Amino acid sequence: MHGTMQDWPLLVWKLIDHAALYHGDREVVALTCEGEEVRSNWRTIHGRARQVAAALRTLGVQPGERVATLAWNTHRHVESWYGISGMGAVAHTINPRLFDDQIVYIANHAEDRVLFFDLTFVPMIERLAPRLTTIEHFVLLTDRAHMPETALNLLCYEELIAAESAGDPWTVLDEFAPAGLCYTSGTTGNPKGVQYSHRSNVLHAMAAAMTDTFRMSAQTSVFPVVPMYHANAWSIPYVAALTGAKLVMAGPNFDAPTIQRMIVKEGVDLALAVPTVWLGLLQHIEKHGGGLGRLDRTAIGGSAVPRALIEQFADLHGVTVLQLWGMTEMSPLGTVGTPCSTVAALPLDRQIDYRTKQGRATFGVEMKIVGDDGLELPRDGRAFGRLLVRGPWIVGSYFKGDGGQVTDAEGWFDTGDVATLDPGGYMQIVDRSKDVIKSGGEWISSIDLENAAVGAPGVAEAAVIGVPHPKWDERPLLLVRAKDGASVTKESVLAHLDGKIAKWWLPDDVLVVADLPHTATGKLLKTALREQYKDYRLPTA
């Protein structure tokens, strides 16, 4: 027996229908690769998304087929997203920072039929097109005036959609139908595809909008610096439509001056990005001055947020940091560091202790930690184990069944993270299970060490890896990159760490390096560091 309420499928185009009807004048602002600033609104974006849907039908794309995007955060990318999934196809966001071979693998594996791409990527597509075996139509996201001289057979986005009517209806689908596809970064092995459904995206957007998540409303001016190809820009293009928020996007620009300018000029009150972006912005402000306008909160995730970053935002700019934890497999939201009522009543310094944790689960995400025997561990803030999750926007299997069964018999997915859970529900990541340092049978958290090291004077970024040690198996090696012009030494960093962490956690060596390697989503590339330093002889060895 069912309840007797209506069957109203949760489809992502319903989000933008709502935005167009009730928040039609609310602005969507974007900087583009053509160097323009485009000021649009939800009504216009909605109409143009309908034209994209119609154009894809004209090109012969069928519901369920994949249409890829290789694009920055712009109005055209948002229109394409809604247009693709609105006609029933699957919007496959490709991360342009991947290596050529990975991009070729991903596009062919997804069997993408059409590719929408930005001007920036013309040279890349000229190089890769012969290897992209399934793509029939290459659509350049620009107007006729900016079409380049190229041997490629290109369609011009503005012309393609101008030929279509905005009056064609969306495609009505089962809410479990696929809407989006995103491949995990795949630091080892081939990337695997996570295929979001309409239902999972809508439910995720509703949870993300909530007061204790992003606190988004029709009055919010939101600036996702995190790119749409990185776990759906943490779902902001969906949440902004759902709430009628103003959406601000910086296209190909990730530099601190542009980010600061957009925040101030567009009255941004919520901005979202990975830690390195914010470290760069605060350094820029330290040097050149200026403020952050109406900015009220920053959502930061993808890697652990150093305490120094949280304090600097609070002290200098009155900005609250919301730490997020999640992953591509979780659409991406798992936890948010919004305080519960007990923590909110604590003095600021104690509150920040909690904000350095990854946060509490939003409704819709179940979590538990288990030991090596698979048995659940206590939620006491001390025991740590593998973090398992389940919920309606968490992966059930990878695209095409890659990797086989990824959930256990009870539906739990292993995140690959090692964490603690405290009695208040705050989760804290100890480490990626692959990155934890095993010293004399005990564990050292590379994340904790890195966070402490980033607080040392002059340090811009820190990475800790375990290197082989004859007595202890592994000991920590700390690599730091100094801020421009700062003088940082092994001694100055060790002096800073002394007393802040357990003595036996102190790194056995500290190297000041010119640069640290990153993954395509801005995380430290520990696999490369471990490879580079695998024969490194520690002074204690």
Catalytic residues, by residue number, are: 184, 329, 438, 443
Nearer to ligand ADP, 254 or 536 (CB): 254
Give min distance, CB of 440 to ligand ADP, in A. Answer: 25
Q: Is the CB of residue 465 less than 8 Å from the CB of residue 477?
A: yes
List the structure tokens of 492: 């100055």
Report in angstroms how near the CB of residue 230 gets to ligand ADP at its nearest.
5
| Contact in structure between 443 and 406 (CB atoms under 8 Å) | no
> Whole-number minimum distance, CB 404 to ligand ADP, in Å?
19
The alpha carbon torsion through 142, 238, 318, 253 (nearest 10 deg) reads -20
Q: Nearer Cβ to ligand ADP, position 87 or 343?
A: 343
Residue with CB nearest ligand ADP? 327
Minimum CB–partner distance for residue 194 and ligand ADP (Å): 9
When the beta carbons of 74 and 519 are compared against ligand ADP, the nearer one is 519
User: What's the token pair of residue 363?
Assistant: 């409704």
Structure tokens at 495: 């002096």
Q: Closer to ligand ADP by CB, 298 or 358: give it.
A: 358
What residue ranges bind ligand ADP (CB under 6 A)? 184-185, 230-231, 301-304, 323-325, 327-328, 358, 415-417, 429, 432, 521, 523
* Tokens standing for residue 187: 């630091």
What is the closest distance, in whole angstroms, from the C-beta atom of residue 428 to ligand ADP in the complex? 9
Based on CB atoms, which residue is closest to ligand ADP, 85 or 358?
Answer: 358
Instruction: Write the burial class of residue 347 (CB in 10 Å: 0-12 exposed, 13-18 middle, 19+ buried).
Output: exposed
C-alpha span between 195 and 111 (Å, rounded) = 13
In 3-state terms, what secondary structure has residue 397?
A: coil
Q: What is the DSSP string of 315-356?
A: HHH-PEEEEEEE-GGGSSEEEE----HHHHTS-HHHHHHHHT
- Residues 175, 199: contact at Cβ < 8 Å? yes
Residue 464's nearest CA partner among 509, 502, 425 is 509
Residue 13's CB: how many other CB atoms inside 10 A?
Answer: 26
Provide, rounded to whole angstroms, the least separation between the CB of residue 276 and ligand ADP: 12
Instruction: Output the smallest distance, CB 304 to ligand ADP, in A.
Output: 4
Query: DSSP label at 111?
Result: T
For ligand ADP, the closer CB: 102 or 303: 303
CB atoms near residue 429 (< 10 Å): 21
On whether the CB atoms of residues 264 and 292 are closer than 8 A, the answer is: yes
**Closest approach of Cβ 438 to ligand ADP, in Å?**
18
**Long-range interactions of 466-469: CB distance < 8 A, separation 24+:** 466/436, 466/437, 466/438, 466/439, 466/530, 467/530, 467/533, 467/534, 467/536, 467/538, 468/534, 469/439, 469/508, 469/538, 469/540, 469/541
